[in-house]
Amino acid sequence: MSELHKNLINGEWVGGEGKENINPSNIKDVVGVYAQADEQQTRDAIAAAKAAFPAWSRSGLMERWSVLSKTAHEIFARKQELGELLSREEGKTLPEGIGEVTRAGQIFEFFAGEALRLAGEIIPSVRPGVQVEITREGVGVVGIITPWNFPIAIPAWKIAPAICFGNTVVFKPADLVPGSSWAIVDILHRAGLPKGVLNLVMGRGSKVGQTMLESKDLNAITFTGSVGTGKKVAEASIQFNRKFQLEMGGKNPTIVLDDADLKVAVESVAQSAFFSTGQRCTASSRVIVTEGIHDAFVDALCERTKNLRVGDALAKETEIGPVVDPSQLKQDMDYIEIGRNEGAELRVGGNRVNAPTEGYFLQPALFTGVNNQMRIAREEIFGPVAAVIKVKDYEEALATANDTEFGLSAGIVTTSLKYATHFKRNSEAGMVMVNVPTAGVDFHVPFGGRKGSSYGPREQGKYASEFFTVVKTAYTAAG
């Protein structure tokens, strides 16, 4: 039996019922055993964060800088090991795992610097002799709820700004994939965070998450996950006047125009739709292709998709790792069936793949003959399933791209400056990608969507201060 990874509450590691973290590439491989927090422990964590806030919100900038930058350096130094852990527990390939760990380090390094750059404004009042100061302060206790698909990068891009701007944190990682999250909490703790500033409560949404939502002492919640849970976070938060930020689903389009470079189009769509096993809210699952290039593009993409090597996340030759767990696999397979029944043509993939180990391997699936009203074109699948929709021209492509409840990321592949410019201006998504994949974003610029995808201020980069601080306006009569 491997050692129990405990929760961190008020600076102490606290035990609980253990839960196994299973490798989706090989279900006989137990990655580790992780303590499940209960309701009382969650309340203790919130109380600890509340008690730690006054001191942390007034802490010296060098203290914040030091913790964040030490954390960044340890993450960089351990990127191979942490990348392996991530790939083993989540199923993305090792280069993807190491890439994500590196991104987490870069985010901590960025926010170490941000701690030193927080500035306000001094503005003359309309009343003579009075001066107005506008400053930003920490919000208070921030609840952080993260999904399984980016088990280190998403926690990093929420925890780093929270701590940087003087907040204290109650962090609930995804129950399914807690290992990488545990590792960064351990690093931050050893980097010298005072007790109570960062509390880890691993466990179920129905227990830990629910207790967080019901607490009047959480001043803000930042959430990435499903639309359904996002709505619960919103409803619960409104009652307490709590600040909240939601990052939810996507049904991201990539438009391929007649004038596209075919190679760029195929690579960009294969990347967006299938890499990381399609398990990204930025994944492109609708490929909207104009008539002139449609057949050549589909042939080339079929060829590319058919040859994608699916297998153990840690194996060198693997391009696409396993689906994360049986319920996600069932959802993917169900949608493949739904697509067939709706009359779309399954051109490649969609079948389970045999491997030497028992895991949740699925050959990426490509549908053609899809129309934008079909369920496979409207609902987020969160797996390696893409739908090609044929359209007449750019105008129809744009209208189809925008005809969705979501609005996270949207791509276009074209060599036309005119269409690229028009699309950047007229896409209803929060992030627009021209000749680059819809997924795989930079760490230092705003991240977020519109419409049903997101709520609240942007994450990442200097825009993160909007959510993680509150503004104060102070008036002083100089006398």
Identity of the residue, 298 or 408, whose beta carbon is nearer to ligand UN1 in the bound complex:
408
Identity of the residue, 91 or 440, whose beta carbon is nearer to ligand UN1 in the bound complex:
440
Q: How far is the CB of 138 from ligand UN1 (least distance, A)?
A: 24
Q: How far is the CB of 223 from ligand UN1 (least distance, A)?
A: 11
Q: Is 461 in the site for ligand UN1 (CB under 6 A)?
A: no
Number of chain residues interacting with ligand UN1 (CB under 6 A): 12
Token code pair at residue 37: 């927090």
Residues between 248 and 307 that touch ligand UN1 (CB under 6 A): 280-282
Q: How far is the CB of 453 from ligand UN1 (least distance, A)?
A: 10
Identity of the residue, 92 or 280, whose beta carbon is nearer to ligand UN1 in the bound complex:
280
Residues between 83 and 102 that touch ligand UN1 (CB under 6 A): none
Token code pair at residue 96: 């993807």
How many Å apart are CA 131 and CA 260, to the nearest integer?
56
Q: What is the DSSP letter of 205?
A: I
Q: Which of 258, 309, 272 is nearest to 387 (CA)?
A: 272
CA atoms within 13 A on the CB side of 124: 4
How many Å apart are CA 18 and CA 3, to the nearest integer?
10
Q: Is 218 in the site for ligand UN1 (CB under 6 A)?
A: no
Would residue 281 show up in a list of annotated catalytic residues for this protein? yes
Q: How far is the CB of 282 from ligand UN1 (least distance, A)?
A: 4
Backbone angles phi, psi at 359, to 5 degrees: -150, -175
Residues between 135 and 174 that touch ligand UN1 (CB under 6 A): 147, 149-150, 154
From the list 96, 100, 247, 380, the catalytic residue is: 247
CA distances (Å), origin 439, targets 113, 181, 198, 283, 324: 26, 22, 30, 5, 18
Of 51-59, 112-120, 335-343, 434-442: span binding ligand UN1 (CB under 6 A)? 434-442
Q: 């990426």: which residue's tokens?
A: 364
Query: Which H or E run contains 146?
Result: none
From the list 100, 109, 281, 380, the catalytic residue is: 281
CA atoms within 13 A on the CB side of 420: 11
Identity of the residue, 46 or 153, whose beta carbon is nearer to ligand UN1 in the bound complex:
153
Q: Which of 406, 413, 387, 475 is nearest to 135 (CA)?
A: 475
For residue 243, the SS3 value is: strand
Q: Is 350 in the site for ligand UN1 (CB under 6 A)?
A: no
Q: Which of 247, 312, 332, 380 binds ligand UN1 (CB under 6 A)?
A: 247
Q: How far is the CB of 440 from ligand UN1 (least distance, A)?
A: 5
Q: Which of 439, 452, 461, 464 binds ligand UN1 (CB under 6 A)?
A: 439
Q: Is 336 in the site for ligand UN1 (CB under 6 A)?
A: no
Would residue 291 show up in a list of annotated catalytic residues for this protein? no
For residue 250, the SS3 value is: coil
Q: Cβ(36)–Cβ(4) under 8 Å?
A: no
Which residues of the shown chain bind ligand UN1 in the complex (CB under 6 A)? 147, 149-150, 154, 224, 247, 280-282, 439-441
Instruction: Give the residue numbers marked as catalytic.
Output: 247, 281
